[in-house]
Structure 1
Amino acid sequence: MLTAADAELARRETRVTAFGLVLDPAALRDRLAARLPEAPRAVRVDYLRYKPGTSVLAGLVLDTGAGPVRAYAKAFTPEGAPEKLAKHRGLAARAAAGAGGGDVSADWHSVVDEPAHLVVGTARADRRLPGVGQLAERPGRATGPDASVRTLRYKPERRWVGVLGHERPARLLKAHPPARAAAALAGHRALAAAGLPVPAAERVHPQRCRGLLSLAWVHGTALDAAPADERVLAEVGALLARVHAVAPALAAGREAAPARPGLDAAAAAVGVLLPGLAAEARAVARTAAARLADRPRTVVHGDFSADQVMVAADGVWLTDLDQVRIDDPLADLGGYLAAEIADGRVPPGTDPYDALAPLLAGYRPCGARLDRRALAAHTAAALLRRTAEPFRHRHPDWPVRAATLLTAARDLLEQP
């Protein structure tokens, strides 16, 4: 059953036929029951990407008798459906039966629901991520014999992350769209070349151009799950300062785009979901972008947050280096703080310096200079980019969470 906010959004979306169906896991399960080889016991939607008037793409977890199956559902408009659904039918007809172990294999590939202008497929049917299909169809070539692969995260058409080995993880596997795999690998190699503690990464069968990467597994605990420890946070700050001191030539060609277009797009997404917040979101985008113009630039992590840091026996390690690029170093600090606020570890309204004090204890002695207004603006910008995330990740109270994040962004920009 749809929440009131989802029902209102579905009422406004008049072109994507199955939009409301995709938002309602129980209704989607009932719809799939007669179309899949085995009716799932339950369906969970854990990710959405919505293009108003065009399509909605959902990441699904199907509860089956054989265990959870990662899948996706994509709904189209009546005008856009014929060509899109035909491509999926062709892929399904050509798909080989899954031969691998783990949850990337299933005894079906994809199904097309013509009346609903909807396709549902397993992760291995994701045509933007052919590396997942490679794992399912020819696992030995990608992972070695007798290896089992378990999915950790799956964002349809964007990225799949899995682990090789169950008892003691051996490798982390990532499937990217093939055109983006080289850039993702470049970030790892840039920081490794500078001597930073990052996992070694390599392509899996680069000649096949499937976008599959293999990374060394870091045995430890993610910072967001580790006990609070100011010494560790100071060590993380010092490591971030080392990232910002990396020679820019190592990340050549990876310049960040100007802030304004991305912030305008984030504000527009908020306006679609919650029209009453549209003007406020646009104002936050406009003000933050103006304050972030002509800022210094260095190598940055690009997606820095506590869950991207591993606390291991031999120190702290950086992970998830797909977004390494040249940008304002305060973008990393602002992004980190925005994630802490969004995840509830830092209350909205906390002064950025106070919130980051343990981390800055290690960061600032390395020679870093901080601009308070720019730090607040970067945090506000990162909060705006996260404002639609509660909807995308299907929190039942997503309108309240979104409004809270936007208010926190606005308040930061109003600080003197």
Structure 2
Amino acid sequence: MNASHSEFKNPDRSLAGRDDALPGLPYLLDDARLSSLLGETVRVTRVRYKPRTSLLVAFRRIRNGSFDYGWAHTLSSPAKLLRRESTSRSRGGNVRILRPDPRQDDMLVAVGGTADDWALHKNLLWLYEHGIERLGLHYGPDTGLPAGSSVLRYKPERRLVLLASSTAAPVVLKAAAKPASPGQQAHFLDRLRLHGVPLLPQLGDTECLANGISACVAWGRGDLTEFDDDSRAFTAGEALARLHGIPITGRTVAEAADSSLQDGAGSWLAQVTAQLKATRSMVSSLVPAYEEPARCIEAELGFLLLEGAGSGRVLVHGDFSPDQVLVGGSEVRLIDFDRARPGMAEADLGSFAAVEETVLPGWERAHAGGPKTARLIEGYVGAGGRFSQTAVDAWAAFRLFNNSVEPFRNRSPEWAAGMSWHLNRAMELIS
């Protein structure tokens, strides 16, 4: 598939030229212009874009010798930004309103730090006032965060992930805008442990989870993406087979999670359809030349996934990938079960394969995945797992299609070309 030369040469400029409802967009998609606007050197690390409505970015900077994060936001309705600035000031926050071009009154950009994130503020405040001591941590000096903490990941209005010091061992702490999902509840995770799924002990109690706070002791030497030794992928495959082997009726998931985890096939299929539609719409907005191939992939995947989704449902991880597998010596731990639900086993296998492919884009292969996927499947089958390769390829294409917008969101310099690769590979797997 081909985009125009301008869309590849400067896709951000091309996008900004099409979206005249967001005149501040060029300043937030360009590190140099945003740095000039802020008066300090920053690098945009993540964006969330709603065409003709809003652009929200996370940026990283160095302060006092360490990384610090902030956000910048522009809206098609400047009045909303002014109201958020006023709300921030009323509670002692530091949100600022900047005017990149004084000649344009409707071009406003709001900027703030992680503590000023309006969606996270309530739960971060609860963490500071009630949660730090519960987790065995210490208060930091005037930061609102635990002492000695550093930011691992930040998605504005979604979550903040910290590595914090404690008297025993470092702690990985997540503050989310929403309360914990059923897949994060202690009784659900206990059920997984009883069936042999290797997990990390959770430190937060039910009140922490109700306020979007979860934590565990830092463990291992990294995740599976960082290791060339594929033997750990074999072990991860065995662990995944144990997860998929947990019955989803009777005294299992019915006890382990609430009804929102046990959505019926109709609800689950509706979510798949909605996700395909949302991805196609965003692809079309970012690079209009990709609209036709995106529609073809949406239609073909809709048919393939919905055709076989009514049978063989198991308890799936829901977001399985190499970075969800922590490695320590000969052992592994599976993490992040907030999207756990009944589904098809191939959805997890295909998701893992698709994510591995993103770091192996030049390797020719007939089926989804690379060497880690092959070893994962060996361990999976050896532990009793069963799957259809055709279905794995289809679910890998689903993940690749949905992830086609990630190069843009993660600010890859060649994001239009990255989108093209994702779409081409998804089409190859289902053709």
Aligned to 1:388: 405
Q: Any idea what SS the aligned residue of 1:347 has?
A: coil
- Say which is worse superposed, 205-214 or 9-18, in terms of deviation: 205-214
Cα distance in 2 for partners of 1:253, 1:139 equals 26
Aligned to 1:103: none
Distance 1:311 1:208, change over 3 A: closer
Cα distance in 2 for partners of 1:344, 1:213 equals 33
TM-score, normalised via structure 2 length: 0.83
Aligned to 2:228: 227
Cα distance in 2 for partners of 1:69, 1:287 equals 43
Cα distance in 2 for partners of 1:194, 1:333 equals 19
1:313 correspondence with 2:329: yes
The one-letter code sitting in structure 2 at the alignment partner of 1:87 is R
Cα distance in 1 for partners of 2:207, 2:81 equals 28
Q: How many aligned positions are there?
A: 390
Distance 1:91 1:325, change over 3 A: same
Structure 1: tracts of 5 or more residues without a match? 34-39, 97-108
Aligned to 2:85: 88
Identity in percent: 27
Aligned to 2:268: 257
State which of 284, 289, 293 in structure 1 corresponds to 2:302: 289
1:145 correspondence with 2:138: yes
Q: Residue 89 of structure 1 contacts residue 111 of structure 1 at CA under 8 Å; is this kept in 2?
A: no
Aligned to 1:154: 154
- Say which is worse superposed, 283-292 or 347-356, in terms of deviation: 347-356
Q: Any idea what SS the aligned residue of 1:367 has?
A: coil
1:71 correspondence with 2:70: yes
- Say which is worse superposed, 200-209 or 308-317, in terms of deviation: 200-209
Q: Deviations over 1:83-139 (max 9, x none)?
A: 34312321233137xxxxxxxxxxxx3212264322111111112113334556788
Q: Residue 89 of structure 1 contacts residue 112 of structure 1 at CA under 8 Å; is this kept in 2?
A: no
- Say which is worse superposed, 146-155 or 262-271, in terms of deviation: 146-155
1:272 correspondence with 2:285: yes
1:111 correspondence with 2:102: no
Q: Deviations over 1:354-405 (max 9, x none)?
A: 7532111111123322212211110111100010100110111111111011
The one-letter code sitting in structure 2 at the alignment partner of 1:123 is T
Cα distance in 2 for partners of 1:49, 1:126 equals 14
Instruction: Measure how far apart 1:297 and its partner are.
Output: 1.4
Aligned to 1:360: 377
Aligned to 2:143: none
Q: How does 1:401-412 map to 2 (within 5 A)?
A: 401-412=418-429
1:15 correspondence with 2:25: no
The one-letter code sitting in structure 2 at the alignment partner of 1:110 is V
Aligned to 2:212: 211
Instruction: Measure how far apart 1:327 and its partner are.
Output: 1.3
Q: Deviations over 1:24-63 (max 9, x none)?
A: 1111111122xxxxxx2x1100111100010011111123
- Report the RMSD for the aligned CA atoms in angstroms: 2.6
The one-letter code sitting in structure 2 at the alignment partner of 1:351 is H
The one-letter code sitting in structure 2 at the alignment partner of 1:329 is A
Relative contact order, CA 8 A, sep 6+: which one is greater? 2
Cα distance in 1 for partners of 2:343, 2:362 equals 25
Q: Residue 71 of structure 1 contacts residue 123 of structure 1 at CA under 8 Å; is this kept in 2?
A: yes
State which of 337, 343, 356 in structure 2 corresponds to 1:340: 356
